[in-house]
Structure 1
Amino acid sequence: MTLRLALLSAFLLSGPAGAAEIACEGAFAIDSSEARLVEIYGAEYVRTGIVPGPEGTEMLATRIFPDNPKRMLEFVWWDEDARTDPSAIGLPAKLAGPGGVRAGMSVAEIEALNGKPFTLSGFGWDYGGYAGFETGALAAPAGGCHLSLRFDAKDYPAGIDIDSIIGDQAVQSTNPVLTEVGAYVQSVAIGYPHPDYRD
C-alpha cells in the first residue's frame, strides 16, 4: 500500500471513539506545504482559497476534503505566496491532536492528559475559550508544534454565577464553574511559530 493510500485509509476509516492521533510530522510537519498535501492526499481533495477568518476577516487557507466538514483539515500558511510554513492547522473531530486531545473532551480530561492545570480565555467573545499549554505533557509535542484548543460551554444553567468564566479574562481550568456549564473541547488545532522566531 502506498503512503498516500495508507494515510487516506487511516483517516477515512477511523471513528470518533478511536480517533486517529496525528503527530507533528508528514502532512502536519513544520516544513509542510500545499505541494506536500497534494502529494499525500491527491489534488482532487486539496483546495486553496479565501476562507472566513477571526473578527470578520478573510484569509487564505488550504483545505483537505473541503466539501466534507466532518473530515476537513484547514492549513493556514505563514508564506501565503509559496504556501509553505504552516502557522495553524485545524483538525476535524475524527482526528486527535498530539497527546490524544480531541473534540468533545471535558476540561478534566484535558487536565489529566496534561498532568496539571492550564489556562483558557473566558467565553463569549471572538477569542473566547482558547487554551494553550505553557507547562505539562501537552506543552511541547514532538516536532516543534504547539497545541491550541477551543472550549465551549454546553449550557449556562439558571442560578449559576458565570462572571468568572465570561469575557476577556484568564480562566483557570480548576474553576468549578467550568464543570457546572459542561465546558468541552469544541475544536483542536496545532500550529508553529513564524520562521523568524524559530530556534
Structure 2
Amino acid sequence: MPVRIGLLALSAVLIAVSPSAAKDKDKAKSPPAEQFLCEGIFGADTTDARLREHFGADNVVTGTIYGPEGMELLGTTIYPDDPTRKMEVLWYDEENLAYPSNIDLSPGQVAPGGVQVGMSIDEVEALNGQPFKLGGFWWDYGGYAWIEVGDLFEPDPNCHVGYRFSPADDYPETIDTISVAGDIELNSDMPLLDEIGTRVTHVSVGYPWPDHIPLPEY
C-alpha cells in the first residue's frame, strides 16, 4: 500500500510540472484584458493632473513623445516602464495638459468594438463583419486601417478608434511582399496578408476638437 500511494503521489507531481499543466497555470495567472472606454478617466475632458491622481504620480511621466518621422510631441506616458501597460496621451491644450487629442492603448486593453493589439487581421475582419482597407507596409505611415463601413465604424460615439497592422517578424523569406509594400491601398481579405502573419500592432483613440479651443491657423 505505501508503494502504491507513493506512485500516485509521484504521478501527481509529474502532471503538475508537465508542460501542459505549466502552460495552463501560466494562462490562469494572465490578467484579464481591460476594456477601454472613452469616458471617465479617459473622457474627452480629462487632464494630466487627473491621470496622476488616478494612476499615481510615480506611474505618470510628462515629456517628449516621438511621432511619425521622428516628430517630437509633448505628451503624457502612463506606466512608462511597463510595456504591457504603457499608454501615451497627446493633448489639445499642451499648456495646461488637458483635453486629450489621442491616446495610444496598451497591449492589455481592448478598444471599443473589441480590437486588441496582437489580433490577426482575420479576427479584426470578423469583428467588423466585412473586409476593410489599410495602407501598405514598411514606411512611416504604413499599415494604418480606415474602416468606413461595418461594426467597427465608429464603435464609440465619444471617440474615433484607429488601428495599425504589421506583418510578423518571421514570415518565410521566400514570400514576395512587393505587392503590399509602400504607399498603396490594400484590402484586408488579401490572402497574402495571412501568409505574412499580419497582426494589430497599434491601437489608438482620437477625440474631437474641444469647442472652446480655437482652431490653429495655418
Common topology (TM > 0.5): yes
**In the alignment, structure 1 residue 20 sits paired with structure 2 residue 20:** no
**In the alignment, structure 1 residue 133 sits paired with structure 2 residue 147:** yes
- Quote the Cα distance in structure 2 between the aligned partners of 1:84 and 1:130: 26
> Closer, same or farther in 2 for the Cα pair 1:46/1:128, shift >3 Å?
same
Bigger shift: residues 134-143 or 69-78: 134-143
Query: How much has 1:156 moved relative to structure 2?
Result: 4.2
Q: Is the 8 A contact 2:133 2:147 kept in 1?
A: yes
Unaligned ranges ≥5, structure 1 = 1-13
Residue 106 of structure 1 corresponds to: 120
**In the alignment, structure 1 residue 181 sits paired with structure 2 residue 196:** yes
Unaligned ranges ≥5, structure 2 = 1-27
- Quote the Cα distance in structure 1 between the aligned partners of 2:141 and 2:66: 14
Query: How much has 1:111 moved relative to structure 2?
Result: 0.7
* Correspondences of 1:118-197 after superposition (within 5 Å): 118-154=132-168, 155-195=170-210
- 2:69 paired residue among 49, 55, 59: 55
Query: How much has 1:16 moved relative to structure 2?
Result: 6.0
Identity of aligned residues (%): 48
**In the alignment, structure 1 residue 115 sits paired with structure 2 residue 164:** no
**In the alignment, structure 1 residue 64 sits paired with structure 2 residue 101:** no
Q: Is the 8 A contact 2:64 2:75 kept in 1?
A: yes
User: Which has the greater radius of gyration?
Assistant: 2
Query: How much has 1:27 moved relative to structure 2?
Result: 2.1
Residue 43 of structure 1 corresponds to: 57
Q: RMSD of the TM alignment (CA)?
A: 1.9
Query: For 1:99, what is the secondary structure of its paired residue?
Result: coil
Q: Is the 8 A contact 1:16 1:94 kept in 2?
A: no
- Quote the Cα distance in structure 1 between the aligned partners of 2:198 and 2:96: 38
Query: For 1:48, what is the secondary structure of its paired residue?
Result: strand
Q: Is the 8 A contact 2:61 2:76 kept in 1?
A: yes
- Quote the Cα distance in structure 1 between the aligned partners of 2:29 and 2:165: 21
Query: How much has 1:71 moved relative to structure 2?
Result: 1.0
- Using the size of structure 1 for normalisation, the TM-score is 0.84
**How many correspondences in the alignment?**
183
Ranges of 4+ aligned residues in structure 1 off by more than 4 Å: 14-17
